[in-house]
């Protein structure tokens, strides 16, 4: 409490102390293991106690020529649409709707209740979610096709048709993902002083205008967070694919993490799997760094 502390406060070096715990933890849990992963990627290795054979950069050159890998990378674009773009937009609109209209005009209880409902899929263990969705998308007796049938239409084979399966997977991912941006955005919107809206309303600004002029700028940091973290999640999405399609039909839903996983376990090519995860980590790192840099620039402005 004494004033003598003030000068230390201005010296930025003291702040580094606060980073020490995470630094140690990061070293042990992330840096060392990732370094080891890179090391593995230079070998042919079946894992476990199998002998390791030096392979130089061959895993990487094989990877560059591996059409299945490039295919999986292309599927990542679909994952970004399903995990980043659509949920962020819907989440933003729903958050504004819940906070503003419903929270204030119909009471916070209804808003909280709806928020909990939207968030439910995030709580569910993915294995169960995947199982339920395979019944929803079942071509003969599934919920969607039964509905279509009662309307006189023949539903398609959602998860079995290689031209369609990726969109079915996207549908489930959107369902799964919506709650995440919603909860973050609602917490962010709670920072907005309600008076601002009232003042704007008095000035004759409509709901949309209020949203764009007041809500959006306030929650900008969160928007960056959601977009960045969801992008990372989209690029490494794995469990939903494993459970819903297993990469099929006919390889049409293979994503990079799944491909790495298959090499690690199914094919026992741990060296090659390590190479895939190293490349993916670098790709994601590059994208994340770019986004961070952009975020910083926006903040400065």
Partner 1 sequence: MITTKFVNGVRTKHKGRHPKHRTVNEWLLLAVAVLCGIAVFAPFGLIILNAFKSSKDYSSNGPLSWPTSISFDAFVDYLGRVDFPQALWNSLLISTLVAVIAVTLSLMSAYPLGVGRVKSSGMVLAVLLVATMLPHESLIYPLFYGAQATGTFNTVWSVIIVFSVLQAAYGTYLLSSVMGAIPKELIEAAQLDGAGRWQILWKVLVPILKPSLSVLVVFFFIWTWNEFYIPVVLLSDQSSQTIPIALATLRGQHNIDITVLNAGSLLSLVPTLVFFLLFQRTLVRGVAAGAVK
Partner 2 sequence: MRSISRRQALGGLGALSLTALTLTACKAAGGGSDKFTILQYEDPTTPQGQGWQKAVELFKAKHPDVTVDVQQTSFDAFRQNAKILLSGNTVPDVVEFNKGNADGGQLASQGLLEPLNDAVTKFGWDKKVSGSMAAFAKYDEEGKAGSGDWYGIPNVGEYVYFYYNKTKFAKAGISEIPTDLASFEDAMDKLQAVGELPISSSASTSQGFNQMWIWYSLVSAEASRKDIDDFMFIRDQVNFNSGAWKDGTERFQQWIDKGYIGSQLGGLSFEQATVNFLSEKAAMLPWNNGMFARIREDASFDWGFFIMPGAQLSMGSSGHLWGVPAKSKNKDLAYDWIETTLSPEVQNLIGQKGGLPLAGDTETISDPLTKELTERFDEVVKADTLSFYPDYPVPGFLDFIQNHMQAMSNKNESADEYLDALQEFYDKGTKD
Residue pair 168/198 in contact (Cβ under 8 Å)? The answer is no
How many residues touch partner 1 under the rule CB under 8 A: the total is 111
What is the β-pairing status of strands 53-54 and 43-44? antiparallel
Measured in whole angstroms, the distance separating CA 216 from the mean position of its chain's CA atoms is: 21
Which residues are CB-contacts of 149 (< 8 A; sequence separation ≥ 6)? 155
Closer CB to partner 1, 250 or 299, in the complex: 299
Residue pair 139/157 in contact (Cβ under 8 Å)? The answer is yes
Helical (H) or strand (E) element with 44 = strand 43-44
Selected range binding partner 2 among 175-183, 224-232, 260-268, 273-281, rule: CB under 8 A: 260-268
Report, in Å, the least distance between residue 65 CB and partner 1: 21
Report, in Å, the least distance between residue 297 CB and partner 1: 10
Helical (H) or strand (E) element with 80 = helix 67-80
The DSSP secondary-structure symbol of 156 reads -
**Does position 141 bind partner 1 by CB under 8 A?**
yes
d(CA 169, CA 244): 7
Q: For the segment 217-246, give every residue that binds partner 2 (CB under 8 A).
A: 242-246
The DSSP secondary-structure symbol of 13 reads G
Q: For the segment 205-264, give every residue that binds partner 1 (CB under 8 A).
A: 220-222, 224-225, 228-229, 232, 235-236, 238-239, 257, 260-261, 264
Q: For the segment 147-186, give every residue that binds partner 1 (CB under 8 A).
A: 175, 178-179, 183-184, 186
Choose the one of partner 2, partner 1, none that binds residue 284, judging by a C-beta under 5 to 8 angstroms depending on kind: partner 1
Q: Figure out which of the listed residues 250, 285, 294, 298 binds partner 2, where binding follows CB under 8 A.
A: 250
**Does position 281 bind partner 1 by CB under 8 A?**
yes
d(CA 51, CA 45): 7
Residue ranges in contact with partner 2 by CB under 8 A: 24-25, 27-28, 32, 36, 46-52, 130, 134-135, 137-141, 157-162, 165, 168, 242-251, 262, 265-268
């Amino acid at each position: 409490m004494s004033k003598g502390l003030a000068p230390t406060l201005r010296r930025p070096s003291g702040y580094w102390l606060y980073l020490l715990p995470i630094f140690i933890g990061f070293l042990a849990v992330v840096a060392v293991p990732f370094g080891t992963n890179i090391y593995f990627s230079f070998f042919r290795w079946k894992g476990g106690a199998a002998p390791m054979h030096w392979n130089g950069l061959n895993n990487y050159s094989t990877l560059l020529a591996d059409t299945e890998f490039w295919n999986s990378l292309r599927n990542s674009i679909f994952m970004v649409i399903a995990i980043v773009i659509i949920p962020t937009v819907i989440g933003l609109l729903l958050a504004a709707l819940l906070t503003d209209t419903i929270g204030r005009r119909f009471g916070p209880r209804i808003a909280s209740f709806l928020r909990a409902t939207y968030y439910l899929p995030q709580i569910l263990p993915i294995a169960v979610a995947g199982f339920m969705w395979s019944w929803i998308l079942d071509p003969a007796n599934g919920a969607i096709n039964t509905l279509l049938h009662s309307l006189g239409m023949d539903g398609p084979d959602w998860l079995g048709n290689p031209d369609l399966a990726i969109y079915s997977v996207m549908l489930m991912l959107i369902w799964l993902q919506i709650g995440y941006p919603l909860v973050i955005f609602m917490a962010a919107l709670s920072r907005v002083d309600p008076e601002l809206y009232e003042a704007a309303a008095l000035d004759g600004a409509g709901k949309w205008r209020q949203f764009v002029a007041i809500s959006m700028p306030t929650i900008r940091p969160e928007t960056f967070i959601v977009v960045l973290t969801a992008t990372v999640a989209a690029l490494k999405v794995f469990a939903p694919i494993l459970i819903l399609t297993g990469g099929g039909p006919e390889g049409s839903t293979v994503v990079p993490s799944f491909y790495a996983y298959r090499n690690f376990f199914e094919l026992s090519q741990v060296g090659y799997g390590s190479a895939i995860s190293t490349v993916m980590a670098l790709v994601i790192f590059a994208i994340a760094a770019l986004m961070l840099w952009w975020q910083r620039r926006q903040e400065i402005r």
